[in-house]
Amino acid sequence: MATSFRRTASTPDGDFAASNANLIPQKWSKDDYKYAFAANAMAPFIGKSDTAIIQTDSDFLKSKGDKLTFGLRGIDSSDGQGDDGTYEGNEGSMSFYDMSAEIHERGNSWLLDGNMTEQAAYTSLRDKNRTTAREWVGRIQAGDIVAALSGLPTMKLKGRVTGERAKDSSGEYIETVNQVSISDKSDSALRHFCGGQSAAGDLTRVSGDANVSSSSTCLFGTQVIEYAKRMAQKDIDASGNFISPLRPVMVNGEPYYVLFISRLQEKALRGETAWLKAARNAAERGRDNPLFKSVDYVWNNVLVKVTDLLHSRIGAGGTTASEYFDTTSDACASGITVHRALFCGAQAGVMAWGKKPVWKDGFKDWQKTKFGTHTDMIYGIKKTVFATGSSSSNVEFGCITIDTAVAND
């Protein structure tokens, strides 16, 4: 007899925890949260400090509210004092930019079919329910972080390819990601690179995904990494306005950036002439820092992490969701597959908690034949932005999106 279980979304009609609260006998331990955190592929890059790639704040665990303000620490641009200078009253000051993030609820439930389903199973389905719930929390949060940094709203797990947004069972959009769209997609944008390079290292930068027209001249590679790093370090624009550069993450006293790339971008990187001559695996450096252990390569103080979580789109001559990242007016060129990499510094994104994940399990029906598991949480994830130069418009504070073509397997 085949085993099965049903999964229901956490809505008033489908949430067994909400409608059968008296039948939920236990709340799970902190170990479950640790398990879920470990299942989050982005966990090594999350921390409470403003030096983390994703900074978390749990203030709303102690108080009520739905919007939390973060202080984004910029870099001091003051000149200081010269010979016999007057220091008192002329002190430098740290630059802070305020940004708020809204929090929303997200949860899920899993319900077993009944006694015979459990009896026929080769293993304890109740334990599998619990494991599934913990892993779901980790995957969902990792996906939300990537979506936020990519300039997208809350996406379905398969939305990384299809472009579909996440919805609950009533058809309402889930809002745990506070979307911040890419501020500028021109060929001179401060925080977005579109284009790529040839295997020989010839760099091409274009304006928008629709202009990525070749999978041989717009591939990912070391020149793209070098160009993105220069973009990250730029602190003055062409008009002389100060730009807050991406703050690197300090590891063992050295500054590093973190770059997330897809496996097909890795394929192009590993096939490049310059990479073949000089590539170094991060693990071979023997670093004890957890950040080094979490990445795959190092190139010129850029920690490169290969991940399956990044978004990709394929142009098909139209404007369906699977063809564009941001707007229907910038769909990928027909026949071209584009992947979006993420070049990150400190405070690339923020995560506000209103309620950490809780897990409950028990029987849904009074006969105690249908056992279920439920989890829910309240949080919000947002890409950081700030106002630059004389412009009042916001630009990305700690993340550069990189769109390159890829050659299919």
Q: What is the 3-state secondary structure (H, E, C) of 6-56?
A: EEEECCCCCCHHHHCHHHCCEECCHHHHHHHHHCCCCHHHEECCCCCCEEE
Q: Are residues 150 and 165 in the same domain?
A: yes
Is residue 371 domain-shared with residue 395, that is, in the same domain? no
Tell me: the pLDDT tens digits for 149-203? 999 999 999 999 999 999 999 999 999 999 999 989 999 999 999 999 998 889 9
Length of the chain: 409
Contacts of 314 (CB under 8 A, 6+ apart): 322, 323, 332, 336, 337, 338
Residue 186 lies in a domain: no
315 three-class SS:
strand
Residue 247 lies in a domain: yes
What confidence tens digit (pLDDT) does each residue in 42-55 have? 988 998 888 899 98
Q: Is 170 a domain residue?
A: yes
Residues 33 and 142 in one domain: yes
166 and 290 share one domain: no
pLDDT for the residue 5? 35
Q: Is residue 20 domain-shared with residue 123, that is, in the same domain? A: yes
Q: Parallel, antiparallel, or unpaired for β 371-383 and 177-178?
A: parallel
| Structure confidence at residue 115 (pLDDT) | 53
The verdict on residue 87 lying in a domain is no
Instruction: Please tell me whether the overall predicted TM-score, pTM, comes out greater than 0.85 for this model.
Output: no
pLDDT of res. 225:
97
Report if residue 141 sits inside a domain: yes
Which of 92-96, 167-171, 272-276, 346-350 shows the lowest mean pLDDT across its residues? Answer: 92-96
More confident residue, 165 or 298: 165
The answer to whether residues 143 and 270 belong to one domain is no
Name the one residue in this structure whose structure tokens are 């879920």.
36
Flag whether 372 is in a domain. yes
**Full residue range of the structural domain in which residue 250 is found:** 192-347+388-406
| Residue 284 maps to a domain | yes
CA distance 288 to 290: 6
Alpha helices in 43-178 (DSSP H): 115-120, 125-149, 159-162
Residues sharing a CB contact under 8 Å with residue 62, sequence separation 6 or more, in sequence order? none
**Same domain as 148, residue 230:** no
The DSSP code for 301 is T
Residues 343 and 205 in one domain: yes
Instruction: Let me know whether 163 and 99 are in one domain.
Output: yes
Question: Does one domain contain both 162 and 128?
Answer: yes
pLDDT at residue 23, as a whole number: 42
Q: Does residue 112 form part of some domain?
A: yes
Q: Higher pLDDT residue, 320 or 111?
A: 320
Same domain as 377, residue 310: no
- Same domain, residue pair 377 and 336: no
- For 363-401, how does the pLDDT look when each residue is reduced to its tens digit (9 = 90+)? 775 556 677 788 889 999 999 887 655 444 678 889 999
Number of domains in the chain: 2
